[in-house]
């Protein structure tokens, strides 16, 4: 297994640029402060994901200050994780951190605060309550409209990290297609995929992995159990990893021996729908147009329409980056115009209920001149890698 070539990590200069753009968006939206909580937005701006617990941790960002808020007893750990943030505010175990946040906002004269959309409802409700109890109530809403556009368009360095992750996962798929045999259990295949991802230089093993055989392929995300691959069954494997936090996500559907002509025909229709979605992606085109392009192919062969089965039961694609699924989405109703730097899955799955499903999933990123594949799509049902 060849170790993935690891591109440079996201550096402090790029994160500072992200903060500058965030502050510009705050100004444009008349927002005085943004509160970032543990999760991928914290990693996007500050390099560490951290994880939410009952003890509140967050970062309050205003136009002239970045203030890390955490329990006092966690100070040393937080400073070790985030050495670039010297300014901190603490709360003790018996204190309410949301009252502290409300006081800090009032001291700064903030009228409007925007909250990380990944914040849990429990923390958000306590924050809203604390803000509402101030003599001069401080308005608070979601920061999604401020943060999402920043994260939707990736920098060249972000795309390089995803290219590395995608190429690693594609090479894992190739090795598995040469190794897998009838009689193997799904759990064996998942374990081998995990081993190969680790050996190839992923952050850890599989970030996720679905291995489905035969009728189970008709369930988009599989069913419980540990099936054994039988001779003549369709194989669907959907897996990915992360490199420096950035995700890969690739699905291959193939067979080790000849299948009936209906499966062969629908495999080629799936391939045609995937290509139609790719061809429809152009700068300025609304996301939903790409989804409809794939569905139009299926409708032309008597599949669907919309989400009717046999046909495509879900959206054509999702955005990808630090989250495996992130906006915008290639789906009806998402009219976000495609822009340079946006990255999407392209997976217009065909499901024949109770019998089989076919999903070819590859990703593309938008350039000034149109879409570019992260990795080469599958070309053949029986020779998935030539």
Please tell me the CATH superfamily of domain 12-151, with its number: Creatinase/prolidase N-terminal domain (3.40.350.10)
d(CA 192, CA 198): 10
Indicate left, alpha or beta for 302 from its phi (over 0: left) and psi (-120 to 50: alpha).
left
Per-residue pLDDT of the chain (386 residues; tens, 9 = 90+): 556 578 999 999 999 999 999 999 999 999 999 999 999 999 999 998 888 999 999 999 999 999 999 999 999 988 888 888 779 999 999 999 999 999 999 999 999 999 999 999 999 999 999 999 887 889 999 999 999 999 999 999 999 999 999 999 999 999 999 999 999 999 999 999 999 999 999 999 999 999 999 999 999 988 899 999 999 999 999 999 999 999 999 999 999 999 999 999 999 999 999 999 999 999 999 999 999 999 999 999 999 999 999 999 999 999 999 999 999 999 999 999 999 999 999 999 999 999 999 999 999 999 999 999 999 999 999 999 98
d(CA 312, CA 274): 12
Cβ–Cβ < 8 Å for 116, 35: yes
- Please report, for the chain, the start and end positions of each structural domain, with discontinuous segments joined by +: 12-151, 153-373
> Would you say the C-alpha torsion 46, 48, 52, 55 has a positive or negative sign?
negative
Q: Is 66 helix (H, G, I), strand (E, B) or coil?
A: strand
- Outline where 133-221 has alpha helix (H): 144-152, 156-179, 186-199
Instruction: Return d(Cα 207, Cα 239) in angstroms, integer.
Output: 7
Cβ partners under 8 Å of residue 370, min gap 6: 281, 282, 283
Name the token pair of 23: 């502050």
**Strand arrangement of the beta sheet that strand 250-254 belongs to:** 208-213, 235-240, 250-254
As beta bridge partners, residue 205 has none
CATH: 3.90.230.10, 3.20.20.10, 3.30.2270.10, 3.40.718.10. Which one for 153-373?
Answer: 3.90.230.10
b/e per residue, 34-52, with b = 16+ CB within 10 A? Answer: bbbbbbbbbbbbbbeebeb
Pairing between strand 242-243 and 139-142? unpaired
């Amino acid at each position: 297994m060849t170790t993935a070539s690891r591109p440079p990590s996201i550096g402090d200069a790029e994160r500072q640029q992200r903060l500058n753009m965030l502050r510009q968006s705050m100004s444009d939206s008349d927002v005085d402060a943004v509160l970032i909580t543990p999760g991928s937005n914290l990693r996007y701006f500050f390099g560490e994901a951290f994880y939410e617990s009952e003890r509140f941790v967050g970062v309050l960002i205003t136009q002239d200050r970045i203030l890390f808020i955490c329990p006092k007893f966690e100070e040393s750990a937080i400073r070790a994780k985030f050495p670039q943030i010297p300014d901190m505010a603490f709360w003790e175990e018996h204190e309410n951190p949301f009252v502290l946040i409300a006081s800090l906002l009032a001291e700064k004269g903030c009228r409007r605060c925007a909250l990380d959309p990944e914040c849990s409802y429990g923390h958000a409700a306590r924050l809203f309550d604390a803000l509402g109890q101030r003599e001069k109530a401080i308005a608070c809403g979601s920061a999604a409209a401020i943060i999402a556009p920043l994260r939707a368009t990736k920098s060249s360095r972000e795309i390089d990290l995803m290219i590395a992750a995608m190429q690693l996962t594609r090479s894992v798929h190739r090795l598995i297609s040469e190794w897998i045999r009838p009689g193997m259990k799904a759990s064996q295949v998942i374990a081998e995929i995990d081993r190969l991802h680790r050996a190839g230089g992923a952050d850890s093993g599989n970030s996720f992995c679905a291995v489905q055989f035969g009728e189970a392929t008709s369930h988009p995300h599989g069913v419980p159990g540990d099936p054994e691959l039988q001779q003549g069954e369709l194989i669907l494997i959907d897996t990915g990893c992360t490199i420096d936090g950035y995700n890969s996500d690739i699905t291959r559907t193939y067979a080790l021996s000849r299948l009936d002509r209906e499966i062969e025909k629908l495999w080629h229709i799936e391939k045609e729908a995937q290509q139609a979605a790719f061809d429809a992606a152009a700068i300025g085109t609304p996301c939903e147009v790409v989804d409809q392009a794939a569905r139009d192919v299926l409708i032309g062969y008597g599949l669907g329409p919309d989400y009717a089965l046999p046909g495509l039961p879900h959206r054509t694609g999702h955005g990808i980056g630090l989250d495996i699924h992130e906006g915008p989405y290639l789906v009806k109703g998402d009219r976000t115009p495609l822009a340079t730097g946006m990255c999407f899955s392209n997976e217009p799955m065909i499901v024949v209920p109770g019998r089989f499903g076919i999903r070819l999933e590859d990703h593309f990123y938008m350039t000034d001149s149109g879409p570019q594949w992260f990795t080469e799509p599958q070309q053949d049902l029986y020779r998935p890698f030539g």
